[in-house]
Structure formats: structure tokens, C-alpha cells
Chains A and B, each alone.
Chain A
Amino acid sequence: MSKQKINNLNDNFDIVLENVTVRYQLPDEQVRTFKEYAINFVQGKNKKRSFLALDRINLKIVSGEIFGVIGRNGAGKSTLLKVISRVLIPTKGRVVTRGRVYPMLQVGAGFHHELTGKENVYLNGTLLGHTRSEIEEKYQDIIEFSEIADFINAPVRTYSSGMQARLGFAVAFAWQPEVLILDEVLSVGDVAFQQKCRNRMQEYRKNGTTTVLVSHSPAIIASLCERALWLDKGKIIALGKSDKVTQGYKTKMGV
């Protein structure tokens, strides 16, 4: 990552994908052990099948918008998010992002059950790339948001799944992200807590956060996003105003 001046990125875009292709290599059989691999190697059976998860995707996401991605299972939605959030380097093509990309961790990912809530706040915060002092600064805010102040010094293994979710979100939502990646994670916790997360999201959006939201639900995409992308088998089917894209998607799916 470099802090060079922007030359190829138009000032209005936070995320630009040029001809992005991701081709996974799948082993023919699921070879999961070195022993099998070695045996197959000797027999010359390690043939690989490739699977095109994203096929020459061109996409520009405007700074500050909430952008929706819709599609069936296996359409390439998650791969798209991985490419944007640096987890996956595209096989071909180019991804440029501006600002810190902040993928929402799935609930409890990165939690350690023997550690206390407080210790996990620090662990989770550093996993998201924050420094110790940044976490100290936000600590009170995190505890308040999570509403579990009374249990913060108990090990996380004693928490209910709802409490774990709240703590996870509280850490993730403590900082205003420049680019926020959401993969259907807002549907956990109770209604009041969900509303709290939505409010925080709206607030960040007003302050300029760019959001990419992935969902199976056309209703959520249509209500939250201005623009949307419909992916199928790694290709763009439609890209444009979210109500039009989701309308097309609903018609095709027969709902």
C-alpha cells in the first residue's frame, strides 16, 4: 500500500475495478492432505479444474454512496467483496481503492473464548488494524454501545451469542470507516440493537463513508442503496438505480 498521489483514480470514486477476473483453482477431488497429494502426484492425477468467480468486472463506486450487490448463492458476491477488501488479489485486472477498507467481521470471528470481554475488545480492535492507543481512546464508547458493561471482565465463553454479537459490532462500529463492507450482517441481535447499528451507519454515511452492501434480499437493497449491481455467475447482469436493478432481479427470480 502506498500513499502516492492519486493519478488514475478519478476524484469522485472510492472504488474502481478494471477488468477484474478471479479464477479459483479447484482440485478435481478434494485433496486435503499432503499424503493424498503425494500419491496423486506420483500417479499424475493432480489435475486442476478452474472456476471463474468473477469475469472481467468493470465497476466504479462513487465516494459516499451506499452501493448494493445482489445475486444468488455462488454469483460471485463474496469474491467481489474479498477483492475490494484486499483479501484476494485478482487473477487478472486491477482494483484501486481509496481510504481504509473496513470489512465487517462476522460475529465473534477473532474472539478468543478464554479472554475477557475487555481483552477481546483489544484483540479484535488490533485485528481490524487499530493501534492500542486508538482502542484506549474509544474504549468507553465501545462498552456503552455494546450495553454489556457489567460483564466486560468475564470471559467471553460465558457470554450469550447475542452478547458476543453486540460486543463484536460495538468494536467494529467504533471508528468511522472510509469504506465499509457489509455482508448481510445487520440481521443479528434484537430489533433495538439493529436499529442502533443502522443509525450509526446512517451517521457515518452522512460524514462521507462509502458503503458496499451485499444481500440476498431485493427489499433491503432497494431501501438502503442508491445504486446496485446484479451479479450472476461472475458476470454483471445489471448495474444502475437500485429500484430498477432489484425489479429486474425479482422478475427473473419469480418473486
Chain B
Amino acid sequence: MENNQKEIYDSSKRGHPAWEELMGLLRYKDLVFQLVRRDMVSRYKRSALGVAWTMLNPLGTMLILTIVFSRVFGRVESYPVFVLTGLIVWNFFSQTTRHCMDSTLWGSGLFKKIYLPRTSFIISSIGTGIVNFLFSLVPLLIIMLFTGTRIQLSAIMLPVILLLLSFFSLGVGLLLSAYSVFFPDIAEMYTIVLMAWMYLSPVIVPEETLAGIMNSLILKINPLHYLIKLFRLVLYEGIFPPMSLLLTATGISFAMFIIGWLVFTKKSDEFAYYV
């Protein structure tokens, strides 16, 4: 092989870590795909119901919540669809962000031995989340059919909302993972934070009810509330979201992603230093 065609690595000529990481990730894109595949296979291979679990899980939760809360929130029209739309968004966010930390921790053993773009594990967690999200739309459609909730044209906004949700979760996942490598107990604290976060978000309880019992500022500063609202508007209410809401959600999601990416790529150079 010609010597001047080989790759040169020069530790003194590295670009910005955020950029280097992006370039590395592009070269390792097949790894991301393999990691998603690994997650899917290992999750479904040894269970009799397989993929059905992804669909039965939100369905079961929805059933319980409907039985418990449909009386309380009797005013809410087709409550099962209302709660399921909230749950799908919430599950995506809580599962992917937790999974980001787990898979980074799994990978941190490898980071000390071989060079890898460290974000590949996090990106793959989001990828797995997207696949699960798509599966969980099946029970939602069935329930919508049962309760007579019509699917409107506004459903074509779904990919955009999934994209925003992915970037927001990715940002949070990156931020959490950057620190959980150094402090594994962050994962445990996060479980408690998630519980509080869920009750402060309009997942089970309608937004109006939440606004009635607590300061509406708490809703306004809760970034997830915008994403849940978007998802509900296009599927449950069947209307196109107002531009202002879409722009707010876009701004929040991408800002979160950029912050997460910058912090993680800066921190990840220290991973191998942590002995």
C-alpha cells in the first residue's frame, strides 16, 4: 500500500471534538445499525410473545389507567386514546434516555481498549427507541378504531414530531451519559426525577387539570409538554399544530441536542483517563 494514501492521525491536529465525533460516527454508521439490531434481537429472541410485548405493554398500562382515571377525567373525550398518545411519547423519552446511559456504560469497557465514536452507542439507543415507537403505533391505531377516533390528514406530521422527539431525547441522553460514566448513581437519581417529571407532564392528567392545580409556569418550562401536545394534536384531536407551537418545539429540541452533543464530546475525551 502506498504510504501517502494511508490515514494519518496526529494528536496535535485534531479538530473540535464535536466535529471529530460527527466525522467518526459517519464512518462507523454500520456499527450503529448493528447495535440497534443487537438490541432488537436480544430483546425479542427469548420471549415467547416477542415483538408483541412492545405493543402489549402500553396497551396494558393504558387499560389500567383508563379504569382508574376515566371517572376522574370523565369530561375527556375517548380517554383511552388520550392517555395512550401521552404514554407513547413519554415511554419513548424515558426509555431512550435511560437506555442511552445503560449502553454507554456497557460501551465504556470498550472505550478503554479501542477507538470508537463514543456517541455510536447513544445514537443506537435512539434508533432502537424509534423502532419501538413505530411498533407502539399499532395498538394506538387499534384503540382509535375501537373508540371511533378518526385519523385525520394531520397525521402526516408524525415523522416531523418523531424527529423532534428523537433530537430532544438524544440531547438529554447525551447529557446524562456524559456524567453517568463518572457517577453511575446518576442513573438511579434519574429514575426518581423521571417519576416527578411524568406527574408534572400532561401524560395521564389533561393539561387544563394540571394548570388548575399547579402554577402554569411549571408546564411552560417543561419542554416535554410541547412534544406531548404536538403528538396529541395531530392524532387525538386531528388538527394541524399552530406554527408557534411547532417552532417552539423545534427550537427546544435542537437546542437540547446541540448542548448535549457539545458537552458529551468534550467530556468523552476524559473517559479513558478515568481509571
- Residues of A at under 8 Å CB distance from B? 1-6, 8-9, 11, 24-26, 32-35, 37, 63, 82-83, 85-90, 93-101, 103, 105-106, 109-110, 112, 114-115, 119, 122-123, 126-132, 178, 208
Contact = CB atoms under 8 A, between A and B. Distances in A.
B183 A1 contact: no
B37 to A, nearest CB: 7
Contacts, number: 131
Interface in B47-66: none
B46 interface: yes
B234 to A, nearest CB: 35
Interface residues of B, number: 46
B3 A11 contact: yes
A110 B116 CA distance: 12
Contacts of A109: 109-110, 113
B147 interface: no
15 contacts: A1-B8, A2-B13, A6-B4, A24-B273, A24-B275, A33-B184, A37-B183, A82-B112, A88-B273, A98-B3, A98-B7, A103-B115, A123-B34, A128-B114, A132-B33
Q: Which of A8, A35, A87 has the most CB of B within 10 A?
A: A87
Nearest to B17: A89
B8 A114 contact: no
A85 B114 contact: yes
Given A35-B185, A105-B114, A99 B7 contact: yes
A95 B10 CA distance: 6
B77 interface: no
A191 B42 CA distance: 34
Given A95-B9, A103-B114, A34 B186 contact: yes
B31 A6 contact: no
B11 A122 contact: no
